[in-house]
Amino acid sequence: MNDKVKITLCSGKGGDGAIAFRREKCVEAGGPYGGNGGKGGSIYLKADEGMNSLSNYRFGKTFKAEEGEHGFSKLCFGKDAKDITLLVPVGTVVEDENGEMLADLYHDKDTYLAVKGGRGGRGNACFKSSVKRTPNIAENGMPGEEKVFYLELKLIADVGLVGFPNVGKSTFLAATTRAHPAIADYPFTTLEPQLGVCYYKPDKTFVIADIPGLIEGASQGKGLGFSFLRHIERCRVLLHIIDASRDSDPLADFNTINKELFDYKPELAKRKMVIALNKIDLVKDPAKIEKFKKEIGDKYPLFEISAKDKDGLNPLIRKLYELVDDSKKNDKNLNQPADNEEKVYKASSLDNGTTPLYKIVKREDGYYEILGERVVRTKKLINLKTDEGIDRLSEYLDRIGVNDRLKELGVKTGSTIVLDGFEFEYYE
Ligand SMILES: Nc1nc2c(ncn2[C@@H]2O[C@H](COP(=O)(O)OP(=O)(O)OP(=O)(O)O)[C@@H](O)[C@H]2O)c(=O)[nH]1
Ligand SMILES: [Mg+2]
């Protein structure tokens, strides 16, 4: 199961604002008349119950939203580009290139604004003032963003089955749900997680995930463990299945698996866990089982079952249902959004005001470079093909204190200053 994919998303650039002047017979020296550019297209990722895998997004695909239309003369605004919404399965986690989680699309219709379309540039009609009656200035549209994301489908189940290989997890799934997992008398029969719905009562159901067997060292990536430990994280309740017929000590088995779980994520130690001593029909040494039950005491609910003979399942299912139900009630207390409510997460790139506006570095070639996302963004907005645009940029740099800072750094008339590839000379 390929459940982690890489995609590249590019939002559209905003359309440029237009520079135009009114030319009409009866209107003398017509005023500025250039319309604004349209907004570039954004790309959203949206969880949808109808999707069950990320296979549409395999092979490092790139998705591009269109650019906004440029503004026109006669105050005509350019059209906004269409936004794109990519549907992903419920349970998709969005991460950036460094593995940082950006959004967890946990409910149907949860939506994440991944890349935002560039704002359209303002046309020169916007720059009319009492002083500048004929502004020869318009903004360029803001560029779009291009970003790489990792999408990972983390299975969501109410109950996750954990335990060594061959203890009877798939047999339990088959006995309690309508799923038909492969069952065989050798380890690692189950190679990918499988889901089944358990009908405790007609309107009381919960989802069970059969997860491939774990072995010692799973949290370090041994066996099949590592990739599937992620799924375990998403289960409300863990059913720890132990093979009671094995020669080994059940407590040692129990602790070995728990150590892997808790080493992988210490929070898992707080997850509700139920123990099922399976294959009770094969037990030759009942004293060992009694000893284990004493050792566990009331730390965990414990049930003796035979998944194969469907023996002892009902009380266990009732317990699992109660714990799942409690956990769901807790969710509601935490004010989770209702199922049909859309939660829109902001694009993470937009700065939150904590980063300094800019910094200036002296490069090896003696040029001074102004760096900073917001400054660069503002520069991109300005149409530097016109003299007025250049005036506007220098006014802006002066306003944010760049000139003072350059002086402090010992910049002389004639020094070259660079901003986002645009070079200009410094004058006192
Ligand atoms: N006698 C007996 N055999 C069982 C019981 N539960 C499972 N088995 C047998 O144990 C073997 C392993 O069962 P599976 O359900 O495939 O075990 P698993 O935990 O899913 O194994 P992996 O997928 O490899 O991790 C099969 O031969 C089952 O028939 C039980 O309660 N009693
Ligand atoms: Mg199995």
pLDDT in tens, the chain (428 residues): 446 899 999 999 999 998 888 766 665 566 778 889 999 999 999 998 778 778 889 888 899 999 999 998 888 899 999 999 999 988 888 999 888 889 888 788 999 999 999 999 988 887 766 666 677 788 899 999 999 999 988 767 899 999 999 999 999 999 999 888 889 888 888 887 788 889 998 889 898 999 888 888 777 766 665 567 777 888 999 999 999 999 999 999 999 999 999 988 888 999 999 999 999 999 989 999 999 999 999 999 999 999 999 999 999 999 999 999 998 887 655 544 444 445 555 444 334 445 578 888 888 888 899 998 888 888 888 888 877 788 888 888 888 888 888 888 888 888 888 998 888 877 76
Query: CATH 3.30.300.350 residue ranges in the chain?
Result: 359-425
CATH architecture, domain 1-152: Distorted Sandwich (2.70)
Q: State the closest ligand 1 atom to the C-alpha of 210, by its place in the atom list counted from 1.
A: 20
295 contacts 251 by C-beta, under 8 angstroms: yes
Structure-token pair, residue 356: 């300094």
Ligand 1 atom 27: the closest Cα is on which residue?
185
Give the distance (Å) from ligand 2 centre to CA of residue 44: 37
Name the residues around ion ligand 2, CB cutoff 5 A: 170, 189-190
Atom from ligand 1 closest to the CA of residue 171: 15
Write out 288-335 in H/E/C secondary structure. Answer: HHHHHHHHHCCCCCEEECECCCCECHHHHHHHHHHHHHHHHHHHHHCC
Query: Where does ligand 1 bind, in terms of residues with CB under 6 Å?
Result: 165-171, 183-185, 187-190, 212-213, 278-279, 281-282, 306-308
Q: State the distance from the centre of ligand 2 to the C-alpha of 72, rounded, in angstroms.
A: 65
Ligand 1 atom nearest 280 alpha carbon: 31
| Least distant ligand from the CA of 278 | 1
Distance CA 236, CA 122 (A): 51
Which residue among 170, 191, 284, 289 has the greatest number of ligand 1 atoms within 8 angstroms of its CB, and so is best to mutate? 170
> How far is the centre of ligand 2, averaged over its atoms, from the C-alpha of 314 (Å)?
21
Question: How far is ligand 1, taken at its centre, from the CA of residue 284, in Å?
Answer: 17
Distance between CA atoms of residues 206 and 146, nearest Å = 40
Longest dimension (CA), the chain: 107
- Residue carrying structure tokens 């139900």: 325
Residue 32 dihedral angles phi and psi, to the nearest 5°: -65, 145
The dotted CATH code for 359-425 is 3.30.300.350
| Cut 0.75: pTM above it | no
Distance 197 CA to ligand 1 centre (A): 19
Residue 173 near residue 183 (C-beta atoms within 8 A): no
Between the CA of residue 260 and those of 19, 153, 162, 169, 219, what are the distances in Å? 65, 22, 11, 18, 5
349 Cβ contact partners less than 8 Å away, ≥ 6 residues apart: 115, 116, 145, 147
Give nearest CA residue, ligand 1 atom 1: 279
Question: Could you say which of 3.40.50.300, 3.40.50.10490, 3.30.1490.270, 3.30.300.30 is the CATH number of the domain covering 157-333?
Answer: 3.40.50.300
Q: Is the distance from CB of 370 to CB of 358 less than 8 angstroms?
A: yes
Nearest-CA residue for ligand 1 atom 24 is 188
Q: Is 405 exposed, middle or buried (0-12, 13-18, 19+ CB in 10 A)?
A: middle
* Type of residue at 162: V
Structure-token match 């409690």, residue found: 326
Tell which atom from ligand 1 comes closest to the C-alpha of 163: 19
- Where does CATH 2.70.210.12 sit in the chain? 1-152
Which listed ligand is nearest to 169 at the C-alpha? 1
Kindly state the helix (H) or strand (E) to which residue 287 belongs, with its residue range.
Answer: helix 286-296
The protein residue whose alpha carbon is closest to atom 6 in ligand 1 is 168
Which residue do the tokens 């069970």 mark? 208
407/417 Cα distance (integer angstroms): 12
Residue 292 Cα to ligand 2 midpoint, Å, equals 24
Question: 37, 15 in Cβ contact below 8 A?
Answer: yes
Closest to 384 in 3D by CA, of 139, 53, 77: 139
| Residue labelled with tokens 């969880």 | 47
Where in the chain do CATH 3.40.50.300 domains reside? 157-333
